[in-house]
């Protein structure tokens, strides 16, 4: 064949059978893409006939239910954990208050004990001082009594010596006579 430029070209003729581009055909009219489409239609029909979408839906629904139950359980556990946390925080605050109260009570008791100890120590010092003063006074009285007794004894001895040295028989008779007369006049 000649083209408008004057050149000759060769043409290839199609073989009989109706397949374009050299594709194989079954039964003369079904090509590979048509066979794939037909197989897909058959598979989809089988899936629908066997109720596979309903089974998948049921499986997904049961999985959703399981997940919902797990979420509900997790929410319940979270609430329980929050309640326990709040309870322990309250217990912790109560324990802190109780500890502060115990410390304050102990501090007050310690101050009371120290105050009582000071009072007891002061009373003991006073009592010991009084006892020492009483003992000193008793010792002074005893010393004075001893001194008086010693002085009386010395005076008696001195008087006896004086009487022995100065008094003779005449003076003795006069002294006895005066003593008798003074007894008789009473």
Are 59 and 67 in contact by the 8 Å Cβ rule? The answer is: no
CA distance 127 to 135: 12
For the chain, the distance separating the N- and C-terminal CA atoms, rounded to the nearest angstrom, is 207
CA distance 94 to 87: 10
Q: What is the token pair recorded at 52?
A: 């596979």
**Residue 8: helix, strand or coil by DSSP?**
strand
Treating both helix axes as pointing N-terminal to C-terminal, what angle do 32-49 and 52-166 enclose, rounded to 10 degrees?
A: 60
Quickly list DSSP for 24-80.
--BTTTB-HHHHHHHHHHHHHHHHHHTTHHHHHHHHHHHHHHHHHHHHHHHHHHHHH
Q: What is the pLDDT of residue 21?
A: 53
**pTM score of the predicted model:** 0.37
The answer to whether the Cα torsion of 28, 29, 33, 35 is positive or negative is negative
Digitized pLDDT (tens) for each residue of the chain, 186 residues in all: 556 565 555 454 444 444 455 566 667 777 888 889 989 999 888 888 888 778 888 889 999 999 999 999 999 999 999 999 999 999 999 999 999 999 999 999 999 999 999 999 999 999 999 999 999 999 999 999 998 899 888 888 888 787 777 767 777 777 788 888 888 776
Q: What is the token pair recorded at 23?
A: 């594709």
Q: How many CB atoms lie within 10 A of CB 74?
A: 10
Q: What is the pLDDT of residue 4?
A: 59
CA distance 77 to 85: 12
Are 1 and 11 in contact by the 8 Å Cβ rule? The answer is: yes
Q: What is the pLDDT of residue 153?
A: 87
Q: What is the pLDDT of residue 152?
A: 87
The contacts of residue 3 (CB under 8 Å, 6+ apart) are: 9
């Amino acid at each position: 064949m000649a083209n408008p430029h004057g050149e000759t070209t060769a043409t290839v003729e199609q073989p009989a059978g109706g397949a374009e581009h050299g594709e194989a055909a079954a039964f003369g009219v079904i090509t590979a893409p048509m066979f794939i489409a037909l197989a897909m239609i058959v598979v989809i029909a089988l899936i629908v006939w066997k109720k596979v979408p309903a089974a998948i839906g049921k499986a997904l629904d049961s999985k959703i239910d399981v997940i919902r139950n797990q979420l509900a359980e997790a929410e319940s556990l979270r609430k329980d954990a929050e309640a326990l946390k709040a309870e322990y925080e309250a217990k912790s605050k109560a324990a802190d208050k109780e500890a502060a109260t115990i410390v304050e009570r102990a501090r007050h008791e310690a101050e009371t004990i120290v105050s009582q100890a000071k009072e007891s120590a002061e009373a003991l010092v006073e009592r010991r001082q009084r006892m020492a003063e009483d003992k000193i006074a008793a010792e002074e009285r005893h010393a004075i009594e001893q001194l008086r007794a010693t002085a009386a004894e010395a005076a008696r001895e001195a008087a006896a010596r004086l009487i022995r040295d100065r008094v003779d028989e005449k003076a003795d008779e006069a002294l006895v006579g005066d003593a008798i007369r003074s007894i008789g006049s009473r």
